[in-house]
Chains A and B, each alone.
Chain A
Amino acid sequence: MSTVVATPGAKDTKKKSGAGAMTDRSRSEDRLGMKLVAPAVVLMLLVTAWPMLQALYLSMFRYRLTAPDDREFIWFSNYATVLSDGLFWQDMFNTVLIMVVTVAVELVIGFAFAMVMHKVIFARGVIRTSILIPYGIITVVSAFAWQFAFSLNNGFVNSWLPFVEDNFNWFGGHWSAMFAIMVSEIWKTTPFMALLLLAGLSQVSEDMIEAAQVDGATWWQRLWKVILPNMRAAIMVAVLFRALDAYRIFDNIFVMTRGAQETESVSFLTYRQVIEQVQLGLGSALSVLLFLSVLLLAYLIVKLFNVDLAAARGEG
């Protein structure tokens, strides 16, 4: 992200090194390629890189929109304030917990769904249509649906679950509220996981599975020794995408609890500081930290699980 390769300057230096190697056609192809990607690149940079630099700059100031005259350069004090605050770490813990639990559960359920969809020979269109509905539904709507389902006065969950008392208030405690938030997140995003895993599953060769079966491998052995290792790339890409998505959780929390019962996520904290409290300095520091933590997380997942990014990019 730091170097812009498609600048005229880079073009000149490259031209010298590759002088004579380029034919007229490949040179015009090169120029056309850059022209075609330019609008997309400019747009993506305009809305991400530029504001991010702006955030980096603002994060060095004590700057609240309600008191613009008190704007003052304070180096890294905002970062110190954030990192020494218990609330930030509480929110970070919530975010990571939601990410780990939802991705783990989605992986298991999503894989089960993918297995079923792979085996089903009837009503494929029906099942595909149904599974796309949670994927396509607005997250806010999903959050409302589950908030109402868990609601004390108007929800069906309490009366359906035998081990929960009818007057149990799900949004009255930290863990039960977190549970409700995770349910809504898992419901909405499992289909996406299932579809990615299904695509991976369909690339595992049937011959190999049959060969294992002939050799006397049990169902369990076939799953762990043949199927899963052969769809590793698909699993890792799905985990990477879903983990980074879950880490940004915001909509569900905003709708279901507004951060009450200490269910706030880092994204929600950032939003609250910037938009509700108009603390642009402190909020920008949070924005930068959020961005850095996503980078770190992406790096860790890619390194730890050895994700094949070429496949993720569709570069192959």
Chain B
Amino acid sequence: MKNKTSIGTWIGFVLIMIWCLLPVVWIISLSFKPVEETAAGSPQFLPKDATLQNYKDILANDDFTRALLNSFGIAMISTVLAVIFATLAAYAIARLEFRGKRFVLSLALAIAMFPVVSLVGPLFDMWRTFGLFNTWPGLIIPYMSFTLPLAIWTLSAFFREIPWEMEQAAQVDGATSWQAFRKVIVPLAAPGVFTAAILTFFFAWNEFVLAISLTSTTASRTVPAQLSYFVGPDPFNPPYGQLATASVVVTVPIIIIVLLFQRKIVAGLTSGAVKG
């Protein structure tokens, strides 16, 4: 009986690994296939004649490197700002009694479920009027708004587990609510804040709908949007190797973050949604 379950678990383990990694290995394999091979059609999984040419080409492609820069800049700035605002809000939600708390939580929930596409039209119109169309702030502002709900949940769940007494002790010693927040809670909350930042960064790095709708040139187009325009001269025969290579390049940061912080990410993902 015991033996049987462990065999089942082993099989399950192998299946999960294949499920998660097969498409990743596939895209890496594709990135090493030379242009001649994909143009002629190469249905086999591994490249016949592996080459680094795709990597040389893609890193010399100014549109792509510019998109990479946009992606990094926009994702980083959105993350920092969203996490600052979310930290303030989550502290209030977890620690303070104030009117409108339910409203904030309901609003966050509603926005987490909001269909982003339905904002594309009005935002497109508004951003052209305000001169925000095709600029970094034009993407940073909506990214902040859409990542706030997740960040607020994650952070308020983390904050609830911080020992209350520490803050009260500080207040007894004469600290104001604000000082108690800054001097006592912030250092304790730093791990949670960091987790929220990772999840926020993932969202901004991944976002596609707004990125293609609110940009028009490489001045602010992010990598996902740039990739979708990267079809080459023949729409029926896209540059497979190049696209695969670009995909690998943008996936590298994700894999590094996941490798370093997997435990934190899992805790953050589930804390907001499942824990009471």
Contacts from A to B (Cβ < 8 Å): 1, 3-6, 10-11, 14, 26, 28-34, 36-37, 39-41, 43-48, 51-52, 54-55, 58, 112-113, 115-117, 119-120, 123, 125-142, 144-146, 148-149, 151, 153-156, 158-159, 166, 187, 190-192, 195-196, 198-200, 203, 233-234, 237-238, 241, 244, 247-248, 250-251, 254-255, 267-268, 270-271, 274-275, 280, 283-284, 286-288, 290-291, 294, 298, 309-316
Contact: B209 with A148, CB < 8 Å?
A: no
Q: Does B172 contact A (CB under 8 A)?
A: no
Q: Does B60 contact A (CB under 8 A)?
A: no
Contact: B43 with A41, CB < 8 Å?
A: no
Q: Does B217 contact A (CB under 8 A)?
A: no
Contact: B88 with A37, CB < 8 Å?
A: yes
Contact: B228 with A255, CB < 8 Å?
A: yes
Instruction: For B110, list chain A residues within 8 Å (CB).
Output: 1, 48
Contact: B122 with A5, CB < 8 Å?
A: no
For the complex, give the distance between the alpha carbons of A73 and B12 in Å. Answer: 60
Contact: B272 with A314, CB < 8 Å?
A: yes
| Contact residue among A48, A191, A287 (Cβ-Cβ distance under 8 Å from B20) | A191
Specify which of B122, B240, B244, B271 lies most central, judged by the most chain A CB atoms within 10 Å of its CB. B122
| Smallest Cβ-Cβ distance to B96: which chain A residue | A33
Contacts from B to A (Cβ < 8 Å): 5, 9, 12-13, 15-17, 19-21, 23-24, 26-27, 30, 38, 41-45, 85-86, 88-89, 91-93, 96-126, 141-142, 144-146, 148-149, 152-153, 156-157, 160, 177-178, 202, 205-206, 208-209, 212-213, 223-224, 227-228, 237, 240, 243-244, 247, 250-251, 254-255, 257-259, 262-263, 265-266, 269-276
Contact: B106 with A1, CB < 8 Å?
A: yes
- Is chain A's binding surface mostly helix, strand, loop or mixed? helix
| Contact residue among B41, B111, B266 (Cβ-Cβ distance under 8 Å from A44) | B111
Contact: A187 with B19, CB < 8 Å?
A: yes
Contact: B145 with A43, CB < 8 Å?
A: yes
| Contact residue among B13, B146, B152, B237 (Cβ-Cβ distance under 8 Å from A116) | B13
| Smallest Cβ-Cβ distance to A112: which chain B residue | B12
Contact: B126 with A154, CB < 8 Å?
A: no
| Smallest Cβ-Cβ distance to A11: which chain B residue | B99
Contact: A199 with B104, CB < 8 Å?
A: no
Contact: B120 with A275, CB < 8 Å?
A: yes
For the complex, give the distance between the alpha carbons of A123 and B13 in Å. Answer: 10
Q: How far is the CB of A204 from chain B (nearest CB, A)?
A: 12
Instruction: For A313, list chain B residues within 8 Å (CB).
Output: 105-106, 108-109, 153
Specify which of B19, B93, B202 lies most central, judged by the most chain A CB atoms within 10 Å of its CB. B19
Specify which of A144, A241, A313 lies most central, judged by the most chain B CB atoms within 10 Å of its CB. A313
Instruction: For A141, list chain B residues within 8 Å (CB).
Output: 27, 224, 227, 247, 250-251
